[in-house]
Amino acid sequence: MADPVFFAPMPVLRLADLAVVCGAELQRGAADLTITCVAPLEDAREGALVFFDNTRYLEQLAATRATACIVAPKHTGKVPEGVALLVSKDPYRAWAKVLARLYPQAMVPLPAFDDKAGISPRATVHPEARLEEDVTIEPGAVIGAGAEIGSGTQIGPNAVIGQNVRIGRNCHIGANAVVQHALLGNRVILHPGVAIGQDGFGYAMGLEGHLKVPQIGRVIIQDDVEIGANTTIDRGANRDTVVGEGTRIDNQVQVGHNVNIGRHCIIVSQVGLSGSSTLADYVAIGGQSGVAGHVEIGMGAQIAAVSVVNDSVPAGGRYGGTPAKPVKQWFRELTALKKLAERGSGT
């Protein structure tokens, strides 16, 4: 069986060109030395470009056979002789720029068919939908009445775009995604299985039974947002659920109704944001954390993984634990509990 290749081979580039792409300084190696592939440290061969940014991998760096390495100034002395140096203050960010240049098709969900613009005859597009030029609709996709889709946008196989949904330009909607009651800006990426705009979880509970409260708000997703596979974002109850521009949401995140997420936030997998919680700009939340309803997290705050945020967090705060508290306090409590447990066990 032939080995499948999912991305086209990268173009051959000179070190001088790569330095320009990633904003690094070529400090060792010939400018016209060519790079033919990228690789991890341990698998690199002649012609490969690697990067080093974590001292846990010093052993792999010492044994690498790469042609060139992107590295921080403080680590240049650790790179073996004979390996060219591309020196950057932020090697990982420089590496990201290189990969984006070499493999642009890996930046968005790949189409199942040819990515040339066009509407598949096996897609269902309502006659009242409005599509700009250069829109791609793949087989099995359904576009509802009154939906509007901007130019350059790709709709993946079996995706469903509901009635009156607005999707901006140069967006990528992955396979089996469902978008309803929502307005999406430009350059939005939804990975496979994302669900946007379904009912929020709202019930008037009572002994006579739980009475469903109609959810009549929308979901607003601003420009340059990326949302990972199988994440769900509920529409608002009586106001909008909002995701601010540039925010990155990982796989399997749950966003409840009326949540307001600011700009350039990072939300890692399996986070749950309860209804009406608010995240200011540049908030980062680690995986498997929960945020209670009506809680506000201030600008630039960071929440450690597997934490529970029950109360509001000030701007710039670094919180962790269950319930979440300032990390220094959390660490002191963990240390005290460990010592208490050790004394109790006689160790």
User: Which residues are tagged catalytic?
Assistant: 257
**Residue 112 to residue 176: CA distance in whole angstroms:** 12
Parallel, antiparallel or unpaired: strands 248-249 and 226-227 = parallel
* DSSP-derived secondary structure letter, 57: G
**Residue 132 to residue 168: CA distance in whole angstroms:** 10
Strands (E), 88-159: 118-119, 124-125, 130-131, 136-137, 142-143, 148-149, 154-155
* DSSP-derived secondary structure letter, 313: B
307 Cβ contact partners less than 8 Å away, ≥ 6 residues apart: 286, 289, 290, 319, 320, 321, 322, 324
Q: Note whether 232 and 195 are within 8 A (CB).
A: yes
